[in-house]
């Protein structure tokens, strides 16, 4: 379960503006998606190096509903974010995904 919650963070960040219009993002997963997009997007974008997330991003990841967020991760979302970075960010925020867990179509690899 903790692994699933971790997924939220990144799913989080993970659940990107491309998929949601502002009104819908505010409602999705009790606002978790909108919060993740606003606070974590820069840490999970496909382009660029892995960078440690901000305290604000980690605060959102620690409280989000991971199963809900992951259920909103589509192939289109996965085109804009790096699921590997999502896993990295979640680990940095002390909410790691369980090996073998799924978020969208991504399966967290074994160590």
Per-residue pLDDT tens over the stretch 30-46 = 888 888 989 999 999 99
pTM: 0.74
Residue 108 counted as domain residue: no
Residue 83 counted as domain residue: yes
Q: Are 93 and 62 in contact (CB under 8 A)?
A: yes
Work out how many domains the chain is built from and give that number.
1
The pLDDT of residue 24 is 55
Query: Could you tell me the pLDDT band of residue 13, with boundaries at 50, 70 and 90?
Result: very low
User: Rounded CA gap, 67 and 94, in Å?
Assistant: 17
Residue 104 counted as domain residue: no
Domain residue limits at 13: 2-97
Q: Is 95 exposed, middle or buried (0-12, 13-18, 19+ CB in 10 A)?
A: buried
Q: Is 97 exposed, middle or buried (0-12, 13-18, 19+ CB in 10 A)?
A: buried
């Amino acid at each position: 379960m903790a692994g699933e919650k971790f997924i939220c963070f990144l799913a989080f960040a993970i659940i990107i503006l491309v998929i949601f219009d502002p009104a819908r993002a505010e409602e999705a997963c009790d606002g978790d998606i909108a919060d993740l997009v606003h606070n974590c997007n820069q840490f999970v974008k496909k382009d660029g190096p892995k960078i440690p997330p901000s305290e604000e991003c980690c605060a959102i990841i620690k409280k989000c509903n991971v199963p809900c967020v992951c259920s909103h991760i589509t192939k289109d979302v996965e085109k804009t974010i790096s699921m590997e970075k999502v896993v990295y960010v979640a680990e940095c925020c002390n909410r790691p995904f369980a090996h073998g867990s799924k978020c969208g179509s991504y399966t967290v690899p074994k160590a």
